[in-house]
Amino acid sequence: MIESCGKSCKDAGCPGFVPALFGFRLVNGANKDLLTGPFKVYDSAQLRIKGKRIGSGALEDISRGFRYLGDTLAVSAFSVNENYSVYYLQLNGTTTDSFFFRYNKNVNACCDLSDFSFTQHNTTSVTASKLPFTHVVVK
């Protein structure tokens, strides 16, 4: 005899996994791209995303990608997860922006429907190693 506990999830119909990606454009005050085209100021190879690890507070490199839309528009994207409290944008070795996300935990007997929402963007110059350690988890 085979017994099981809990709910059978074989027919639950959970939605497909959607990675938590965040994308942005780097533009000047006139909304002109700074990574490509005639107003290019920064080399995309010099753009870094750092994440501050929860628990240790260590700053770690986060993989980022670029998508070029024509000759004058570039969009950068990176993945977020619950292991980091804050993300930082570095241009030519200088930390310029910080990004904060909220982890919205939503798990039922069969499906993990958890997601992330963007909560704050700091555009003033910041020093990643000196910012307070913060993490928000909504249950």
Q: What is the pLDDT of residues 30-58, one digit of tens each?
A: 888 888 888 888 888 888 999 999 999 99
In-domain check, residue 56 = yes
Q: How many of the other CB atoms lie within 10 Å of CB of 123?
A: 9
In-domain check, residue 14 = no
Using pLDDT thresholds of 50, 70 and 90, give the confidence band for residue 6.
low
Q: How many of the other CB atoms lie within 10 Å of CB of 63?
A: 8
Q: What is the extent of the structural domain holding 32?
A: 21-138
In-domain check, residue 15 = no
Q: What is the pTM of this model?
A: 0.71
In the chain, the amino acid numbered 102 is R
Helix (H, G, I), strand (E, B) or coil at 130: helix
Q: Which of 120, 125, 123, 126 is nearest to 59 (CA)?
A: 126
Q: How far apart are CA 137 and CA 139, in angstroms?
A: 6
